[in-house]
Structure formats: structure tokens, C-alpha cells
């Protein structure tokens, strides 16, 4: 990104001054100079387009891991007020609705698990359906799927996938309200037929990790974390159903925007006023897809527990937290001294509620919400804690990952899957994948430096670092 | 495997696909070939099963998106890897066929395409050659 066009607001936040006659809200880009310099200029163009959408409250923002997306940049955050003509955008949520991370905390240590790691990785790979074309064992009738779309992870627990204790540590206790399965197309439901309990491909993964470093002892204690402990992170989303909801409404809202007189600087910003029939239909469908994703991660957590149970029968795997990345949620935020209900779009950004927030489970009420920055399979990930709203200037949002530093095509030119998997093995990281090409696309070097992203996230007040996790085994699609 | 520059273009997180042809229909077929080659090597796909995709669309840009997303939906619904494509147009009515086979255990896989987006979407004819482009979400 050409940062000469930007004006620094602080050492860790920047803005693009408005050109003469330009009508848009302010924009804020969070990140160090080093991170911003690696971002594509398109990030700036895209967030400036978001800032021109109707009903935006405050600034349109990008997180430190931002990269060029479609419509919204990945790592984009924007709040809209329905009563002020605010919009909801399918492009502002993305195709993989409620893609997110379920993090499981175990009572195992690396020293205890290391001799079993090879067997564990192989069994996880054989058990967790991953990769394009792979299907799970669960088959649901259209009526049963509608129940899933209304009840999310709650449905999964009722069906025996996990325990009700899990739900305390999932956003919205595993079930968002406002889902309306009648707004989800038949094709979307058909696409989900074989995909409940599947991981997918691309940047999705299941990773066995070790807590290598604690940054914040108090928060780590609240989160039940200690050095040497084994965690499992499951990164995936709403699978075929969510993809089809995104597909259906992208075109529907793009056409509606024209009819409703909303000028779109980029068609991918396809949107409609929140209170319009089209906006309400999308909300009903999107919330259904969120519930689908929450159920999916609940099932995958259950399958993971079964594998661990077969290999280390006494192991306990508890849900640390489950965060979603691609959502639009109605939340209450204080803006210029007044609490307002706002629709917060987070596309490739994590919700990060601070200490004392009533939505948090009692265990985390003092520390703040666990926030997970998922890094590449060769470097590591971070667990952070949300800050109080006075400190977080981004409507309680934070980074969600390392963020890509280069395209998939560039990565394929630079790395070969088999060679990469062997190299990682030499570093003590076991990778199991059905796609060597996918492994090359996901090479650690294709991502930004996760340490820089986590550091910038902390410096910007978005969340504070609690623990660094090193991957030990990674299952990829 | 490389994403060759004549069929793909750069995007940070996702992939830009390109289709070309002497007619609009052939161009969209070529775009489908580029899209499905992201998921599986077309040379390894036998035309054992057929799927049909039909839609109404007057705008060539939206037709590209409807065609690709229709194929992606049909392929996922039936658990197929697709490799051959035919598309016909009568006015605003489009009728397409695609052939492929169920995914095989052990088959080398690429990356799943979730959907065709409206970003960098363009379908244009220049000097008798049609070119279609868009970003697909992977």
C-alpha cells in the first residue's frame, strides 16, 4: 500500500483524508507502518467504498491483518444504524458465513502427547472429513436441517455431539436468534446435505497446538491456559449452505440496490437497507447460516474428542471459546455518549467483547472475551483477550488471522506441497492433507508475520495478547 | 501445479479466473473450465454423469456469475467433480450441461471454490474474442 497517501492518527492507526467533494465517512486503518506497507492498495480502495455506504456510523475500519477481499476488504469492520437508513451487505459478510474458530483446551501436555502425535494426526485425518468433495456421515432431511438452522450448536448438543457446557463458551450460547430457514434457498439446503460435520479446504484446518508462551498470566489463568498445554483449534464455517446463501443474496442484493437507488461504488458491496424486505430476508438467511456454522463446529469438536478419547482415553477436551469471523450482528455500542443498537459487519474480523460484558460467560467476565488469531500452519497462533469498549475503538472488534501476504498463484510458484510438508515435519509439525496444491497455497511464507499482527492488535487497543500457540499437527482439506 | 497467467489473475486471498472464446457461450464454458480446474485436474475427470443448469439473465456479467454458481451448486449437491461444459443461449434463457464424476478416494484435490463473486467481474467482446473475468472465493 502506498502509505504516503495516509495520515497517521497514532503510531498504530491511519486515515485517508477525504478528497475535495468526496462524500464518505472517515476511515481508520489499524496496523504498523510495516504491516500497512505489505497491504495491497485495493484494501484502501475497498474500505473507502465501504465508508460511502448509507447509514454508516463512525468510521469504516480495517484490522491489522487486512487484505484485499471482494467488496469489503478481509479484516473490514463497519457499523450501520437501521433507523438511519443503514444497510446490510452480503459482500460485507462474505461467502463463508460465520467462518470461525472453535478452540478446545485439553488437560494434556506436549511432553505427554508427543509420543502419540503421529498416531493422533493420522487418526484425526482419517476421522475428520476434510477437502473438496469430502462428505460427512450425517444426512438430514430438509425439515431436520431447518431445525439445525434455527438452533445451531444447541441442536448438535441435543443430538449427542458434545455437552451443554460447551454452549456457555460459544458466541450467543451456540444459537443466534433471527434465523429464518424459509429465507434459505432449496439449493442451499441441498448443498449442505453431505456437509454437516466437514472441515472444507483452503485456509480451513484442524490444528493440535501447544501453548508455548504466556503473555498475560491473569487472563491465561481465567482461560485455563498454561505453558506446555495442548490445545486444538478447528477453523471452518457454514460449508455449502453458507456459500449458497452468499451466492443467492449477492446477486439479489446487487439488483435490489439498483432498484432502491443505492449507488454502489463496487457491485460486490451488494446491499439493501436493513429494514427493507430484502435486508430482512438476508438477515434471516445469514442468521440461519451462522447457526449452521455453529452446529458444524460443534460436531467437529465432538469428532475431535472421539479421536482423542481413542488415543488418550483419560483426556479432557473443554471448549475454551468459539469465535465467528464473517458475520453481521446487532449489538449495543456507545457512540458519542449514547448507547445505540448497531449492525456490526465483521468480514474477516473477530468480535472482542471486553471485561464485564454481559454476553460473556462468568468465567471470562473479568478477563474479557477470548479472541483467537489463527496463524499459518508453520508459525503459530495467538489467544488474546478483548478490551473494554473505552480502549477498543473498533466496535469491540479485533484481528482474526495472520492475513495473506501474497496470492495463491504466487505461493504456487514459490512452494511445492510435498516439499513444504516435509520441511514442516523437520520442524516438528505434522501436516496431513488431501491436497498438496492446497498445502503449497497455504505455505507459512504466504502469510503475514502473525507476531506483527498480534502486536499491532494489542498496540491498537483492540485486544491484548494472552498466549502464543505453536502448531504440532495440522489437518488440512 | 501453477495457475497459468492466461487463465487466472492475481488476487490476495482468492483467485481470479479468465474464460475466452469466439462466442459468448464458448467464453463462459472456458470460464467454467478454469473455475473447476482449481478443484481437480480436468484430465483426471471422466464424463460419467451429467448435470443441467438453466437460468434467465439478460446481463452477460450476471450470466457469468449465474452460470458458475449454478454449476458449483449442482456439483456440490451431487458430489461431483466436473470437467466438461456446454452452454447455449436463446434470448435471455441459458441452458447448460456439464459432465463429471463422483470424487474418488485418493483423488488429488485442489482447493474448493465456494462461489463466483461480482468483484472484477467483466464479460467483454473485443475484436471478435469474448473474455470473461471474475474473482472466485476459495
Q: What is the pLDDT of residues A1-44, one digit of tens each?
A: 999 999 999 999 999 999 999 999 999 999 999 999 999 999 99
pLDDT band with cut points at 50, 70 and 90 for residue B3: low
SS3 readout for A433-461: ECCHHHHHHCCHHHECCHHHHHHHHHHCC
Mean pLDDT of A426-434: 96
Mean pLDDT along residues B55-73: 95
Using CA atoms, how far apart are residues B131 and B121, in angstroms rounded to an integer?
11
- The partner residue sitting opposite A437, judged by closest CB among B110, B114, B118, is B110
pLDDT at A237: 96
In whole angstroms, give the CA distance from residue A231 to residue A212.
Answer: 11
Instruction: Give the three-state DSSP class for A36.
Output: helix
For residues A194 and B80, what is the distance between their CA atoms, to the nearest angstrom?
12
Angle at B101 between CA B97 and CA B106, to 5 degrees: 150
Query: Least CB-CB distance to A412: which of B3, B114, B117?
Result: B3
Q: What is the pLDDT of residue A93?
A: 95
Query: What is the three-state SS of chain B?
Result: CCCCCCCEECCCCCEEEEEEECCHHHHHHHHHHHHHHCCCCHHHCCCCEEEEEEEECCCHHHHHHHHHHHHHHHHHHHCEEEEEEEEEEECCEEEEEEEEEECCCCCCCCCCCCEECCCCCEEEEECCEEEEEEEEEC
State the smallest CA–CA distance between residue A412 and chain B in angstroms: 6
Is A472 part of any domain? Answer: yes
Composition of chain A by helix, strand, coil, percent to 5: 40, 30, 35
> pLDDT-based confidence at A267, cuts 50/70/90?
confident
Q: What is the CATH number of the domain that holds A26?
A: 3.90.1860.10
- Respond yes or no: is residue A400 known to be catalytic: yes
Average pLDDT over chain A reads: 95
Q: B40 CB near a chain A CB, below 8 Å?
A: yes
List, for residues A431-468, the tens digit of each pLDDT value.
Answer: 999 899 899 999 999 998 999 999 999 999 999 999 99
B21 CA: distance to closest CA in chain A (Å): 23
> With contacts defined as CB-CB under 8 Å, which chain B residues touch A254?
118
In a domain, A437, yes or no: no
Nearest to A439 by CA among A469, A459, A410, A419: A419
pTM score of the predicted model = 0.95
SS3 assignment, position A184: coil
The structural domains of chain B, ordered by start, are 29-103 (3.55.10.10)
Q: Does B119 sit within 8 Å of A71, measured CB to CB?
A: yes
Q: Which residue has cell 458434545?
A: A162
Give ∠ CA B84-B87-B90 in degrees, rounded to 5: 170
Give residues 210 to 269 of A whose Cβ lies within 8 Å of B: 240, 243-244, 246-247, 250-251, 254, 266-268
Task: Give the per-residue pLDDT at A455.
Answer: 98
Grid coordinates given for A46: 475497498
Name the residue range of residue A386's domain: 3-405+447-476
First vs last Cα of chain A: how many Å apart? 31
| pLDDT (average), residues A162-171 | 97
Please tell me if residue B49 touches chain A, with a CB cutoff of 8 Å.
no
Helices (H) then strands (E): counts for chain A: 14, 19
Instruction: Decide if A95 and B115 are in contact by the 8 Å CB cutoff.
Output: yes
Residue-by-residue DSSP string for A63-125:
EEEEEEEESEEEEEEEEE-GGGT-EEESTTT-SSTT-EEEEEEEEEEHHHHGGGHHHHHHHHH
Residue with cell 498496540: A459
Q: In DSSP terms, which residues pair with B85 in a beta bridge?
A: B98
Average pLDDT over residues B75-104: 96
- Backbone angles phi and psi of B34, in degrees to 5: -65, -40
DSSP element (H, E) containing A61: strand A56-70
In a domain, A46, yes or no: yes
Residues of B in contact with A191 (CB under 8 A): 73, 76-77
Q: In whole angstroms, what is the distance from residue A390 CA to residue A395 CA? A: 10
Check if the beta carbon of residue A46 is closer than 8 Å to that of residue A268.
no
**Which chain B residues in 78-117 lie under 8 Å from chain A, judged by CB atoms?**
79, 81, 103, 107-112, 114-117
Residues B115, A201: C-beta atoms closer than 8 Å: no
Q: What are phi and psi of B73, to 5 degrees?
A: -65, -45
Q: What is the pLDDT of residue A334?
A: 94
**pLDDT for the residue numbered A409:** 86
Tell me the pLDDT tens digit for each residue of A65-76: 999 888 899 999
Report whether pLDDT(A210) > 80. yes
What would the pLDDT profile of B6-52 be if each residue is shown by its tens digit?
899 988 778 999 999 999 999 999 999 999 999 999 999 999 999 99
pLDDT at residue B102 greater than cutoff 70: yes
B109 with A254: Cβ contact below 8 A: no
Query: How far apart are the CA of B81 and the nearest CA of chain A, in angstroms?
Result: 8
In angstroms, rounded to a whole number, what is the distance separating the alpha carbons of residues A50 and A53?
5
- Look at A247 and B109 and tell me if their CB atoms are within 8 Å: no
B-chain residue closest to A411, CA distance: B2
Q: What is the mean pLDDT of residues A78-91?
A: 96
Contact flag A190-B12 (C-beta cutoff 8 Å): no
pLDDT value, residue B2: 56
What is the Cα–Cα distance from A39 to A64, expressed in whole angstroms?
10
Is the pLDDT at B1 greater than 80, yes or no?
A: no
Look at residue A416 and tell me if it is in a domain. no
More confident residue, A405 or A296: A296
ipTM attached to this prediction: 0.85
Q: Is the pLDDT of residue A83 over 90?
A: yes
Residue A62 lies in a domain: yes
Q: Tell me if B103 and A134 make a contact (CB, 8 A cut-off).
A: yes
Position A441 in a domain: no
CA distance, residue A257 to nearest chain B CA (Å):
14
Q: What domain count does chain A have?
A: 1
In a domain, A427, yes or no: no
> In angstroms, what separates the C-alpha of B60 from chain A's closest C-alpha?
13
Judge contact between A214 and A383, C-beta under 8 A: no
Measuring CA to CA, which residue among B48, B43, B108 is closest to residue B78?
B48
Amino acid at each position: 500500500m502506498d502509505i504516503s497517501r495516509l495520515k497517521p492518527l497514532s503510531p498504530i492507526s491511519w486515515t485517508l483524508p477525504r478528497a475535495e467533494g468526496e462524500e464518505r465517512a472517515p476511515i481508520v486503518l489499524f496496523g504498523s507502518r510495516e504491516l500497512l506497507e505489505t497491504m495491497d492498495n485495493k484494501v484502501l480502495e475497498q474500505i473507502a467504498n465501504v465508508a460511502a455506504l448509507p447509514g454508516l456510523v463512525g468510521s469504516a475500519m480495517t484490522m491489522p491483518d487486512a487484505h484485499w477481499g471482494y467488496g469489503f476488504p478481509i479484516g473490514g469492520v463497519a457499523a450501520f444504524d437501521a433507523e438511519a437508513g443503514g444497510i446490510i451487505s452480503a459482500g460485507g459478510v462474505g461467502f463463508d458465513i460465520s467462518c470461525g474458530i472453535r478452540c478446545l483446551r485439553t488437560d494434556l501436555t506436549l511432553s505427554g502427547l508427543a509420543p502419540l502425535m503421529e498416531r493422533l494426526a493420522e487418526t484425526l485425518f482419517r476421522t475428520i472429513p476434510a477437502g473438496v468433495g469430502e462428505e460427512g456421515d450425517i444426512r438430514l432431511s430438509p425439515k431436520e436441517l431447518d431445525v439445525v438452522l434455527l438452533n445451531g450448536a444447541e441442536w448438535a448438543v441435543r443430538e449427542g455431539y458434545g455437552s451443554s457446557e460447551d454452549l456457555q463458551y460459544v458466541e450467543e450460547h451456540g444459537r443466534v436468534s433471527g434465523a429464518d430457514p424459509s429465507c434459505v434457498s432449496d439449493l442451499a439446503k441441498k448443498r449442505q446435505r453431505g456437509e454437516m460435520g466437514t472441515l472444507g479446504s483452503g485456509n480451513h484446518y484442524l490444528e493440535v497446538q501447544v501453548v508455548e508462551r504466556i503473555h498475560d498470566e491473569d487472563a491465561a489463568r481465567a482461560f485455563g491456559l498454561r505453558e506446555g498445554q495442548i490445545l486444538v483449534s478447528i477453523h471452518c464455517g457454514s460449508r455449502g449452505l453458507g456459500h449458497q446463501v452468499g451466492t443467492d443474496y449477492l446477486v439479489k442484493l446487487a439488483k435490489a440496490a439498483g432498484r432502491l437507488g443505492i449507488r454502489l461504488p463496487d457491485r460486490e458491496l451488494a446491499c439493501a437497507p436493513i429494514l427493507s424486505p430484502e435486508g430482512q430476508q438476508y438477515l434471516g438467511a445469514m442468521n440461519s447460516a451462522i447457526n449452521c456454522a455453529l452446529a458444524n463446529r460443534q460436531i467437529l469438536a465432538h469428532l475431535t474428542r472421539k479421536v482423542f478419547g481413542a488415543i488418550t482415553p483419560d483426556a479432557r477436551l473443554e471448549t475454551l471459546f468459539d469465535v465467528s469471523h464473517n458475520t453481521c450482528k446487532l449489538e449495543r455500542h456507545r457512540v458519542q455518549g449514547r448507547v445505540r443498537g448497531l449492525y456490526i459487519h465483521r468480514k474477516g474480523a473477530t468480535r472482542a467483547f471486553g471485561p464485564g460484558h454481559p454476553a460473556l460467560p462468568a468465567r471470562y467476565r473479568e478477563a474479557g472475551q477470548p479472541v483467537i488469531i489463527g496463524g499459518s500452519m508453520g508459525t503459530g497462533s495467538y489467544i488474546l483477550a478483548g478490551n473494554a469498549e473505552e480502549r477498543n475503538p473498533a466496535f469491540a472488534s479485533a484481528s482474526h488471522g495472520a492475513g495473506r501476504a501474497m496470492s495463491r498463484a504466487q505461493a504456487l510458484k514459490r512452494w511445492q506441497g510435498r516439499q513444504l510438508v516435509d520441511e514442516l515435519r523437520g520442524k516438528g509439525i505434522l501436516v496431513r492433507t488431501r491436497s498438496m496444491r492446497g498445502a503449497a497455497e497455504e505455505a507459512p511464507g504466504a502469510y503475514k508475520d502473525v507476531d506483527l499482527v498480534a502486536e499491532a492488535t494489542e498496540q491498537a487497543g483492540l485486544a491484548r495478547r494472552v498466549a502464543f500457540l505453536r502448531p504440532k499437527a495440522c489437518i488440512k482439506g | 501445479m501453477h495457475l497459468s497467467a492466461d487463465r487466472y489473475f492475481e488476487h490476495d486471498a482468492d483467485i481470479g479466473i479468465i474464460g475466452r472464446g469466439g462466442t459468448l457461450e464458448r467464453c463462459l464454458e472456458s470460464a467454467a473450465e478454469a473455475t473447476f480446474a482449481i478443484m481437480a485436474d480436468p484430465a483426471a475427470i471422466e464424463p460419467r454423469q451429467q448435470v443441467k443448469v438453466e437460468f434467465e439473465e439478460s446481463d452477460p456479467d450476471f450470466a457469468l456469475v449465474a452460470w458458475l454458481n449454478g454449476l458449483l451448486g449442482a456439483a456440490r449437491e451431487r458430489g461431483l467433480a466436473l470437467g466438461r461444459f456446454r452452454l447455449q443461449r436463446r434470448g435471455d434463457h441459458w441452458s447448460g450441461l456439464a459432465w463429471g464424476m463422483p470424487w474418488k478416494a485418493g483423488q488429488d484435490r485442489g482447493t474448493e471454490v465456494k462461489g463466483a463473486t461480482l468483484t472484477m467481474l467483466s464479460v467483454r467482446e473485443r475484436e471478435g474474442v469474448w473474455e470473461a473475468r471474475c474473482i472466485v472465493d476459495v
